[in-house]
Amino acid sequence: MNSSTSLFSASALSGRVAFVAGGSRGINRAIARRYAAHGAAVFVVSRDQSKIDDTVAELRALGAKAEGAAADVRDFAAVEAAINQCADSLGPIDIVVSGAAGNFVAPAHTLSSNGFRTVVDIDLNGTFHVFRAAYPRLRKPGASLLAISATHALLPAEGQAHVCSAKAGIQMLTQVLALEWGKDGVRVNSLAPGPVDGTEGMARLTPDEASRAALYERIPLGRYASLDEIADLALFLSTSAAGYITGTTVVCDGGQSLTGHARYGLQPA
């Protein structure tokens, strides 16, 4: 499915307000576009104001009401301020996406404490900050929270101790929040993509054609996902069509998890 087609009507999210953390690039920007194209008002957050401005302009060109603010997900006060700005300007929040992430390849014996802490702080702590800050400003019942994780939540990968630990934490956080907030009618899920074309993460993990080809061989469908495919799945999980799905990590990886992770950026043993 591409950006010009959809299983949902253009008004599927009409009247909804979506907050997308990490929404100025990659997967999260594609999700923000998909929400906007289906009628949602969208508020995007990232650390780079120029990228926020560019994204907001793109969303407005789609006919959506869109705003944004610069904030680092590691800073709870900054995230809370952005959430409040979103709710005050656009109304109660219906959809929250937490997708800010960090990654690099490093075997555990060379991985610094600071490197490990930085990834956990962005991915896991950042997801908690976004969801916790949003909770008081959610439209309840009916709100949907979605963490953009990765198959690292489920499978160990060499050179990725920091990322696997953070993503596994996101999976458990998703389940706990689904348990605690379900009574308020709030759904909490994670989306775990495998390799996705056009993302900074895959550019880092497969920096050349040889590493890219090696990863293709480990994916039963023989290709990477497109940004549109991940955005479509996020759209589904954010609509009433997924109204009975919560506490789940939805894997979209072309079958990669059936074969195990590649040795990203590492020489063969």
Q: What is the pLDDT of residue 2?
A: 45
Check pLDDT > 60 for residue 267.
no
Q: What is the pLDDT of residue 159?
A: 93
Interval 158-185: pLDDT, tens = 999 999 999 999 999 999 999 999 999 9
Interval 102-126: pLDDT, tens = 999 999 999 999 999 999 999 999 9
Q: What is the pLDDT of residue 263?
A: 63
Cα(42)–Cα(248) distance, integer angstroms: 24
Band (211; pLDDT cuts 50, 70, 90) = confident
Band (266; pLDDT cuts 50, 70, 90) = low
Q: What is the pLDDT of residue 264?
A: 61
Interval 70-101: pLDDT, tens = 999 999 999 999 999 999 999 999 999 999 99
Cα(175)–Cα(172) distance, integer angstroms: 5
Closest CA to 225 of 249, 201, 260: 201
Mean pLDDT of the chain: 93
Band (199; pLDDT cuts 50, 70, 90) = confident
Extract the runs of DSSP E, i.e. beta strands, from 132-180: 144-148
Range with the poorest average pLDDT among 22-31, 207-216, 243-252: 207-216
Q: What is the pLDDT of residue 212?
A: 84
Cα(250)–Cα(236) distance, integer angstroms: 11
For the chain, state the CA radius of gyration.
Answer: 18
Band (6; pLDDT cuts 50, 70, 90) = low
- Angle at which helix 49-61 crosses helix 26-37, to 10 degrees, equals 30
Check pLDDT > 70 for residue 214.
yes
Check pLDDT > 50 for residue 60.
yes
pTM: 0.93
Span 241-247, average pLDDT: 97
User: Which amino acid is located at 9 in the chain?
Assistant: S
